A and B are shown apart, each in its own frame.
Chain A
Amino acid sequence: MNSTVSLPTKAARPRRRAFTPDRIGVYAFLISAAAFFLLPLYVMVVTSLKTGPEVREAILFGWPSTPQFQNWVEAWSTACISVDCSGIQKGFWNSVRLVIPATVLSVLLGALNGYALSFWRSKWGDMLFAILMLGAFVPFQVMIYPLVAWFRLGGFYNTYWSILLVHCIFGMPVLTLLFRNYYVSIPQELFKAARIDGGGFWRIFLQLMLPMATPMLVVATILQLTGIWNDYLFGLLFAGKDNYPMTVQLNNLVNTTFGERRYHIDMAATILTSLVPLAVYFFSGRWFVRGIAAGAVKG
């Protein structure tokens, strides 16, 4: 069996071509889709940099002749909201003061809920979870009036604490679901091992389960941070005048009407308001996708 078989010559490695027609088509579609969604942002930015007369020329996509960055400064510090002419900076700081504690608190509560529901199975745990999920499907507008009534009864309606509490409550269903699904994918054996090692409810949560859920923590934080920052209705209804978040201030600024409408200032204020969620998405998009994907595969 020593006959030589003539093997075919070595096949050439296929070359990868960067630009095939279908590839160009794909890119063209992606770029136009991206442009479509970026268009409003573009209009906002250019309008905010125009002067008043320039805006009234009504060339929506036109580039400002000389970018007026002082519009932003004005919106921030001197624009008038009814009689108060200190811009929307107060709203910004109100939002910061609200968003950080509300995010931390609601995320921790969600994680705690998810952890308790998936590992410390109590008799009514599943029932509680079902009710909580049901809560996610009830339009929240339905709950506004009862909440207002209760808070007034409790004597803290229109205070900082009422708006903080509202955000924690309404974050609960989604955050609990998020963390529960993550923890359910973790083998019970891990929890059992920790029990044998003597870990109690809090120790297992704080030293083991919370650090393990880092991707979920990131996702939940992003969700809450942007959600609470962008909230308008709860802020208007529950925060009270002194604690109005930036979105409410922005609305008041835009709706303040005396004399001519100053669209460029409105736009500048709008950009300032949306800067925080924009930045969050911009810097954490990768984490966000990773966390969602991890949840999708495992949950």
Chain B
Amino acid sequence: MASVHIKDLDIVLGGNSILKSMNLEVQDGEFLVLLGPSGCGKSTLLHSIAGFYDVHDGQIIIGDKDVTWADPKDRGIGMVFQSYALYPTMNVERNMSFGLRVARVDKAEIEKRVNKAADMLQLKELLKRRPSQLSGGQRQRVAIGRALVRDAQVFLFDEPLSNLDAKLRAELRRELKELHQSLTATMIYVTHDQVEAMTLADRIAVMRKGEIQQIDTPAMVYGKPTNVFVAGFLGSPSMNFVNGRLTVEGDRPIVRAGEFSIDMSAYPFLAAPQNGQDVILGIRPEHIQLAGDGENAVLTGTVKLVEPMGAHQIVWVDCQGQRLSIHTESSSIYKPGSTVRLAVDCTRSSIFQGDGERRL
């Protein structure tokens, strides 16, 4: 087990600066997820930690060793790739033991470790098979097993579940989480899938254009996103955004956007709100309630579309010119065209400054 420190890391690939003075600390035993859209540099960061790219400037430290210029094999890492990257000419057992054989570990020890990993990943019956005779899920298990037998200090995952179908993905996701709990190893995991990020991570680092936008626990990243990019990246359906203007009337801050207006007195502002400021109001679909007749409601709107999801439904409402999605339980029936009253949970909303770059 080891921590990972990245200090002022610059990565330049083919003349393009991909990462610029990146700083990142991963605690010992932590599960860190690097989340972002494609091209945000998350994979580049991971592959730099693995040692596949020459560092332009900066430092990479694993444990208490500076590995900036170390060979991939000397970094104490195990890595799992999206395409599995199993050796096609070797059977499962030899795939898993390749690294140990290279390192001339003695046979009894190799067998012990392979069997242990095979037990953990239910690969016992498959040891003699070739990768081509395995299903996608089994292949990825083998790839994970191959990383495990190396007894690495840090495990790196590069979108390991992206090639699997939805059901298998959920299954392997759980297995990975259990694995992390039983190994308590440091894991760095790259994905563009927000569900994987939310479910697996101790902390999520949301990246955009080579920069970390926010790094925090899943609850904080989801609940108190630092800017509109982070807010919009997490959550499905996406957070509702209302471009408006903040007015302070008396001591009541109110967000207005045309007809639409909402009293944000209950919102925990980071700094005292300024009158007349352009803002973006962000409300998650599950933080808007469809209110009954007697209940307290702040907005009214017209139902446009209903998307039943089984366990819940998404109701799209036109609310004084703003289109809002609302996450609600599936027992009530809403008809398109009917008028509904909405209650917004202001304390759990987000307000960003007009350019969307900062949370207010």
Contact flag A211-B73 (CB < 8 Å), given A196-B50, A196-B79, A197-B102: no
Interface size class of B (residues with CB under 8 A): 20 to 34
User: Residues of A contacting B72 with CB < 8 Å?
Assistant: 192, 195-196
Interface size class of A (residues with CB under 8 A): 10 to 19
Main secondary structure of the interface of A (DSSP, over half): helix
Are the C-beta atoms of A197 and B73 separated by less than 8 Å? yes
- Cross-interface CB contact of B85 among A187, A203, A211, cutoff 8 Å: A187
Are the C-beta atoms of B103 and A192 separated by less than 8 Å? no
In the complex, A194 Cα to B99 Cα: how many Å?
8
User: Residues of B contacting A190 with CB < 8 Å?
Assistant: 83, 85-87
Are the C-beta atoms of A208 and B87 separated by less than 8 Å? yes
Q: Which of A192, A196, A203 has the most CB of B within 10 A?
A: A196
Are the C-beta atoms of B88 and A212 separated by less than 8 Å? yes
In the complex, A281 Cα to B57 Cα: how many Å?
56
Contact flag A198-B73 (CB < 8 Å), given A208-B89, A211-B89, A212-B89: yes
User: Residues of B contacting A208 with CB < 8 Å?
Assistant: 87, 89
Contact with B along A197-217 (1 / 0, CB 8 A): 111000100011001100000
Q: Determine if A193 is an interface residue (Cβ-Cβ < 8 Å).
A: yes
In the complex, A207 Cα to B89 Cα: how many Å?
9
Q: Determine if A57 is an interface residue (Cβ-Cβ < 8 Å).
A: no
Q: Determine if B319 is an interface residue (Cβ-Cβ < 8 Å).
A: no
In the complex, A17 Cα to B243 Cα: how many Å?
71
Contact flag A194-B87 (CB < 8 Å), given A199-B102, A203-B102: yes
Are the C-beta atoms of A187 and B73 separated by less than 8 Å? no
Contact with B along A56-78 (1 / 0, CB 8 A): 00000000000000000000000
Contact with A along B48-67 (1 / 0, CB 8 A): 00111000000000000000
Are the C-beta atoms of A193 and B102 separated by less than 8 Å? no
Are the C-beta atoms of B89 and A197 separated by less than 8 Å? no
Q: How far is the CB of A188 from chain B (nearest CB, A)?
A: 9
Query: Top 6 nearest A-B pairs by Cβ distance?
Result: A197-B99, A198-B73, A189-B85, A189-B81, A193-B85, A198-B102
Beyond contacts A190-B85, A199-B98: 20 other A-B pairs, Cβ-Cβ < 8 A, are A189-B83, A189-B85, A189-B158, A190-B83, A190-B87, A192-B72, A192-B79, A192-B81, A193-B79, A193-B87, A194-B98, A196-B50, A196-B73, A196-B99, A196-B150, A197-B73, A197-B98, A197-B102, A198-B102, A198-B103
